[in-house]
Structure 1
């Protein structure tokens, strides 16, 4: 294990990845301003739906979020240049994590992956070559890194891809129904739009998606299949970029492949003047116990999060409990309806809430189908009325949800006062009505 983790290897893959990473996150942040994502997601809404427990984390007022993203883009440029690297990568990680946690109406697994990767990069010596830090302080320069840097990235990607593949092994993916639904919105794409509506295309995408996610990391690690796997990666990620338009992340995924090629190959491609590092000696650091401990805890959490929904009552596709942070990508399409009734506890007077007064169109789509959004909105209504001196109960009425085009079913118990309901962070919230698969409410055991 010591030889596997603590052998010194050429650091060319880490150095070029730092450059790619910095450029891409800078483009992501500047692009979020230019495309209007910041305006739509963080400026126009009266409030955002943060991750529960981070209620204090709200967007900056006025034009503050434009400045926030401009600063993050600048930090990305500093990362690429290797200028004050430790400060820039830690600052970017904290700021990006803040954006991720302060809003979930635009939740994306890729945003979560970026939190993880930028967090890991805080611990890596990615500025020890081809950086402004080395120009200012030549003693930093080195051509080597510990092998565990590579393997941490590889294992993280293995977790992402394998869990994404396993999650697809369910009925609505295997009969390609969800892909048919997802492709409906792409019908007007030039050239490929009509093609994306063909059943054989859905079948090809479904099978290829499962196999790619399951096999891509082993295929990239295995030298005889590496080039084929790389070509498949280019096709897969460019296809996702064109069809799903998910920003930098297909290109970030391609950037990860530098860790799978021989360091000498990466050095000869990108750093021809950089001397090769061929020693490959084992240097066990004094803090090896700390490395083992931190890595063990980190990966234990990463392995536990994607399986937690198996220990929560009812179907995750219905309740959404245990869905986030689990690499469950493109698995469902949710549609719903909902109304909110506020009842004054003293007078008994009731009124229906005008959702248009509070929410953007995107937030209204989310609040009709996601239980944590529903609960949070009820808490906001309770607080708003309390500030006016009214003690109210809040009920979700006419709450119905359709998953993957199936018939609508009642979703939230209309008799439960959500203003006084507690949110269960780890187990099932009983005010979510049972799915068709769990009519008896006898779900999975709690451990």
Structure 2
């Protein structure tokens, strides 16, 4: 799947459109130094992702390939904040876990070349780590749906389903508000409970059918990219550990030696790393509770939190630039200077609005107009509500830093 995704990115011209052509990139705090490779370097980088994905799938130089795949894919994600997607983040997380876990002990080229790598079994924590990661994605996606917009008003699902009323057979149903409410409740219940149903032997078959059906429907109705298919494949980790061996059979080269009885130093280090990893994974989706206001509006704590397909949000931003020394004024429309994706994402993300304001100030300084003030007229509509200001129009964004706490220049969601 990773191989296909990287090749698809190349074939559709997204490498150039997203990473090479834009003269400006939105970056993550602390990673502004990450820049695209010069020349054709980024194309070669994507070829490396394809090759590393193949090595991980085949179990060839597995530990090194998994570590390099994590670094290679995460590097791409750090290049452009506007391209953030939950499933890209999930790929990086899973690649990191694979680098920590010896998943090449059976049915791998490494185990075929080196019999000492073969294992009849693995410590329970290793499979448990992958299961826990998949379960956390589902559960936190469900927890994020426990709000009035989703459960009571069936938003934004009610809006999205109306866009598909032209579908044969099911189209008229999708126009029914009761269907939107039922699907909202079912979606929340599915995310919150599906890991348990997959783990319980009595409900496993029905749960697996629900997984295939749920992700197939969402993948067809909504622009989720490879996320539904990644989650469908990942859900198989919650099945009994013996199912791949029963499915593939026990060819001689797949038959591993006896398992190690005592944990090694490497396993103890991996356990410590996993403990740190899951502490972060548990804390990150909950951090938005540390900020006042609605995370769907302020976006504070919204990334890296498995908030999947929760908002219908559209914005428009223009900047007012003023030179205090001369009184000259300029009005700048970022849509004339950014890609469509960058402008769309920036218009609803306060941190990106501030970041571009700082960029404009630097740009004017380079043109011989230092110390300009930059203000934003940013209007956002959430779930079809009337547009409202997102940013305080009287705050000079060129003078504010990104705080650790709440952003005082972000206005509250109107009620």
Q: TM-score, normalised by structure 1?
A: 0.85
Shift of 1:255: 2.0
Residue in structure 2 matching 1:202, options 167, 174, 180: 180
Matches of 1:356 and 1:248, distance apart in 2: 28
Residue in structure 2 matching 1:155, options 132, 138, 144: 132
Shift of 1:223: 0.8
**Secondary structure, in 3 states, of the residue corresponding to 2:330?**
strand
Matches of 1:262 and 1:177, distance apart in 2: 36
Map of 2:17 onto structure 1: 40
Matches of 1:183 and 1:84, distance apart in 2: 46
Matches of 1:198 and 1:94, distance apart in 2: 46
Q: 1:154 to 1:26 in 2, by over 3 A?
A: same
Shift of 1:195: 4.7
Does the 8 Å contact 1:27/1:248 carry over to 2? no
For each residue in 1:383-427, what CA deviation from the matched residue of structure 2 results, as whole angstroms up to 9, or x when unmatched? 212222321334334321111111111211111111111111x31
1:298 and 2:286 correspond? no
For each residue in 1:303-342, what CA deviation from the matched residue of structure 2 results, as whole angstroms up to 9, or x when unmatched? 1111111111222111100111111111111112221112
Map of 1:104 onto structure 2: 81
Map of 1:133 onto structure 2: 110
For each residue in 1:250-269, what CA deviation from the matched residue of structure 2 results, as whole angstroms up to 9, or x when unmatched? 22222223332333332111
* 1:279-428 paired onto structure 2 within 5 Å: 283-286=262-265, 290-424=269-403, 426-428=404-406
**Aligned residue-pair number:** 413
Matches of 2:204 and 2:324, distance apart in 1: 66
Does the 8 Å contact 1:340/1:394 carry over to 2? no
1:143 and 2:123 correspond? no
Matches of 1:247 and 1:70, distance apart in 2: 20
**Secondary structure, in 3 states, of the residue corresponding to 1:400?**
strand
Matches of 2:53 and 2:273, distance apart in 1: 26
RMSD (Å) for aligned C-alpha atoms = 2.4
Q: 1:339 to 1:178 in 2, by over 3 A?
A: same
The answer to which of 411-420 and 350-359 deviates more is 350-359
Q: 1:119 to 1:168 in 2, by over 3 A?
A: same
Matches of 1:51 and 1:184, distance apart in 2: 35
Does the 8 Å contact 2:320/2:375 carry over to 1? yes
Q: Which gives a bigger RCO, structure 1 or 2 (Cα 8 Å, sep 6+)?
A: 1
**Secondary structure, in 3 states, of the residue corresponding to 1:263?**
coil
Shift of 1:77: 1.3
Residue in structure 2 matching 1:56, options 9, 16, 33: 33
Map of 2:247 onto structure 1: 269
Map of 2:412 onto structure 1: 434
Matches of 2:352 and 2:65, distance apart in 1: 33
The answer to which of 381-390 and 242-251 deviates more is 242-251
Matches of 2:197 and 2:63, distance apart in 1: 33
Shift of 1:249: 2.8
Residue in structure 2 matching 1:221, options 174, 182, 199: 199
Map of 1:180 onto structure 2: 158
Shift of 1:41: 1.8
Where does structure 2 lack aligned partners over 5 or more consecutive residues?
Answer: none
Residue in structure 2 matching 1:257, options 213, 230, 235: 235
For each residue in 1:338-359, what CA deviation from the matched residue of structure 2 results, as whole angstroms up to 9, or x when unmatched? 2111222322211112424421
Map of 1:12 onto structure 2: none
Matches of 1:271 and 1:124, distance apart in 2: 23
Shift of 1:379: 1.3
Residue in structure 2 matching 1:113, options 76, 84, 90: 90
1:74 and 2:60 correspond? no
**Secondary structure, in 3 states, of the residue corresponding to 1:208?**
helix
**Secondary structure, in 3 states, of the residue corresponding to 1:419?**
helix
Matches of 2:264 and 2:112, distance apart in 1: 26
Where does structure 1 lack aligned partners over 5 or more consecutive residues?
Answer: 1-23, 438-447
